[in-house]
Amino acid sequence: MSISIIYYFESPVKFTSALSMKLKLMITIFTCLLLWSVMLLSFSNIFKHQLLGATINVASKDFVKPRDKLLGGLLTADFDQDSCLSRYQSSLYRKPSPYNTSHYLVSKLRNYEMLHKRCGPGTDAYKKATENLGHDDDENYSRKSVGECKYIVWVAVYGLGNRILTLASVFLYALLTDRIILVDQRKDISDLFCEPFPGTSWLLPLDFPLMGQIDSFDREYSHCHGTMLRNHTINSTTIPSHLYLHLLHDYRDYDKRFFCENDQSLVDKVPWVVVKSNLYFIPSLWLNPSFQPELIKLFPQKDTVFYHLARYLFHPTNQVWGMVTRSYNAYLSRADELLGIQVRVFSRQTKYFQHVMNQIVACTQREKLLPEAAAQEESQVTNTTKPPKLKAVLVTSLNPEYSNNLKNMYWERPTSTGEIVKVYQPSGERFQQTDKKLHDQKALAEMYLLSLTDKLVTSACSTFGYVAQGLGGLKPWILYTPKKFKTPDPPCGRAVSMEPCFLTPPAHGCEAKKSINTAKIIPFVRHCEDLRHSGLKLVDDTNDEL
């Protein structure tokens, strides 16, 4: 009986103890699951917004400022962020811009976006505007109102650098003349860039009435502006339904009259304009007296035109942006200073040239962009409290030998300053492969990466370099064109502005019969550093350097 009683009293204690252990185990498991869920959610957010970590890294070096994802009002907040990550994340990789966007430009862009919505593809206005195209029209548009919707169609020609520069030029012309810009989508434009205008599209519909003909448009086309002027088939009383602008490097004096004030009054009456160009022709728009007052209000600082237009228009697609961010985070984000070197050799022989390599080394060391290699290995006392400065060098070139030689130079010998130099080249394609999707995507990613550097060296007359410097707001050191396969002396010089060069501008004024120096008409349009006797570029008119 006593044994039974003892057993009776011991059993609840054991039961309670076991229950307590089970509860503790269940609580522990639940807590672990909860913590694991939180960690997964955190990792998911980190993965989704991986740029943030890199930004904190970059920001901690030189500045601590909240990012402005709308770039001073340049961008609208009306887009879905995930559909185009680069649009609102690009500011994470850049220092705050020293170049303010004018309120007038912001207002002009918002008004343009509303106009594009009213007149863009799929609207009744667009359908009505295309009705008379593709036929031999006998309509005289000088006696007919075309309404508020007029169009300019950009046709992709030549390489990616040329296309970006001309697209910016055509868009600015559209802003100045209240035209809707539509871009030929048959090439890889939609694989490279996101749509820039909210709630509409800038892609020219594939059923556009002239789509089957525009590839054949040239200087001799009957609706070519220059040809019509030469043949006297366009005037204030005879206006065609469409006009082709031939603004390529081989354009004639008649074609160049497009930039003249009197001719613009005729072009303005034509409802459809189609343009082919491989030139950054914006400097000549500033020479037109009817455009100049508006341009001054849009861009009070004259050498920021491409900088602002490019940041507004050109947002890499998610695929291209992934190439940019992966490269930056893996190879560039930890550096104390970034140097970009863009190498473009204009030669029929697509190979490595030693005189170009010598020029790169001479330029970067003369201008103190890279340290010299020490003559011999020197014993150095390691400073454990202050690690050596890390300088990352991003090289872009069709040939990998230039970056390989730089890499070997700094691997085989220490630097004279004690700095660590790390050299990185994303790709080396050997040959330019325009219109191949992946090649063009890599090219765009490399242009963008170059624009993220602190200092930049570019090749003379290279549109690839022009895009990078303009997008980054950088005044590069320009590698002068070698003569007779010899390294130039000096090897390079500093650009006075970040603007691209108009490589083949008109050689004489609109009213002049003979050649004039178009670089001396207004103070803020001058000759380019890489084409001192022909090219034109915009400079800030407060900059007195040449």
Q: Which CATH number is 482's domain given?
A: 3.40.50.11350
Same domain, residue pair 168 and 268: yes
- Tokens 């809707």 belong to residue: 180
**Does residue 288 lie within any of the structural domains?**
yes
**Does residue 225 lie within any of the structural domains?**
yes
> CA–CA separation, 293 vs 285, rounded Å?
11
Same domain, residue pair 170 and 233: yes
Same domain, residue pair 272 and 333: no
Q: Provide the β-strand partners of residue 153.
A: 182, 274
- The Cα-based distances of 287 to 131, 256, 282, 300, 313 in angstroms read 35, 13, 9, 16, 24
The model's confidence at residue 55, banded by pLDDT at 50, 70 and 90, is very low
> CA–CA separation, 492 vs 361, rounded Å?
11
Pairing of strands 477-479, 455-459: parallel
**pLDDT of res. 420:** 95
Same domain, residue pair 166 and 222: yes
Mean pLDDT of 8-22: 47
Per-residue tokens: 17: 């103890």
Same domain, residue pair 198 and 322: no
Mean pLDDT of 68-85: 94
Q: Which of 7-16, 173-182, 256-265, 343-352 has the lowest mean pLDDT?
A: 7-16
User: What is the domain range of residue 502?
Assistant: 318-374+387-538
Q: How many domains does the chain have?
A: 2
Q: Between the CA atoms of 53, 54, 59 and 64, what dihedral angle is there, to the nearest 10 degrees?
A: -30
Same domain, residue pair 362 and 278: no
**pLDDT of res. 346:** 82
User: Phi/psi zone of residue 375: left (φ > 0), alpha (ψ -120 to 50 degrees), beta?
Assistant: alpha
**Does residue 64 lie within any of the structural domains?**
no
Cα angle vertex 57, ends 52, 58, to 5°?
Answer: 95
> CA–CA separation, 532 vs 84, rounded Å?
40
Q: Provide the β-strand partners of residue 243.
A: 273
Mean pLDDT of 115-122: 97
Surface-to-core class of residue 500, CB atoms within 10 Å of its CB (0-12 exposed, 13-18 middle, 19+ buried): buried
Amino acid type, 243: L
> CA–CA separation, 294 vs 312, rounded Å?
18
**pLDDT of res. 25:** 59
> CA–CA separation, 227 vs 219, rounded Å?
7
- Number of other residues whose CB lies within 10 A of the CB of residue 83: 11
Of 275, 303, 331, the one marking the end of a domain is 303
Same domain, residue pair 491 and 361: yes
Same domain, residue pair 263 and 409: no
Pairing of strands 179-183, 242-247: unpaired
Same domain, residue pair 203 and 341: no
> CA–CA separation, 101 vs 201, rounded Å?
24
> CA–CA separation, 18 vs 24, rounded Å?
10
Q: DSSP 3-state helix, strand, coil percentages of the chain (rounded to 5)?
A: 45, 15, 45
Q: What is the mean pLDDT of the chain?
A: 86
Q: Which of 266-270, 509-513, 525-529 has the lowest mean pLDDT?
A: 509-513
Helix, strand counts (H, E) of the chain: 18, 12
Same domain, residue pair 287 and 325: no
* For residue 96, pLDDT beyond 80: yes
Contacts of 35 (CB under 8 A, 6+ apart): none
> CA–CA separation, 453 vs 474, rounded Å?
9
Of 246, 270, 303, the one marking the end of a domain is 303
The model's confidence at residue 65, banded by pLDDT at 50, 70 and 90, is low
- Identify whether the C-beta of residue 463 lies closer than 8 Å to the C-beta of residue 161: yes
Say whether 392 sits in a helix, a strand or coil.
Answer: strand
